[in-house]
Chain A
Amino acid sequence: QKEVEQNSGPLSVPEGAIASLNCTYSDRGSQSFFWYRQYSGKSPELIMFIYSNGDKEDGRFTAQLNKASQYVSLLIRDSQPSDSATYLCATPKRDDKIIFGKGTRLHILP
Chain B
Amino acid sequence: ETGVTQTPRHLVMGMTNKKSLKCEQHLGHNAMYWYKQSAKKPLELMFVYNFKEQTENNSVPSRFSPECPNSSHLFLHLHTLQPEDSALYLCASSQDIQGYSPLHFGNGTRLTVT
Contacts and interface: CB of A to CB of B under 8 A. Distances in A.
B99 A101 contact: no
B114 to A, nearest CB: 20
Chain A contact-residue range equals: 20 to 34
A92 B108 CA distance: 22
A103 B88 CA distance: 15
A26 interface: no
Given A34-B102, A43-B90, A43-B107, A102 B42 contact: yes
A72 interface: no
Given A31-B99, A92-B99, A97 B45 contact: yes
Q: Which of A44, A88, A93, A102 has the most CB of B within 10 A?
A: A44
A32 B106 contact: no
Nearest to B6: A43
A71 interface: no
Interface stretch (A12-20, A45-53, A77-85): A45-53
A42 interface: yes
Interface in B83-107: 90, 97-100, 102-107
A97 B92 CA distance: 13
B109 to A, nearest CB: 10
Interface in B58-114: 58, 90, 97-100, 102-108
B104 A96 contact: no
Contacts of A45: 105
Nearest to A6: B42
Interface in B25-74: 40-43, 45, 48, 56, 58
B97 to A, nearest CB: 5
Contacts of A101: 42
Given A4-B42, A100-B42, A102-B42, A32 B107 contact: no
B42 A98 contact: no
Contact of B41 (A36, A97, A99, A102): A102
Contacts of B48: 97
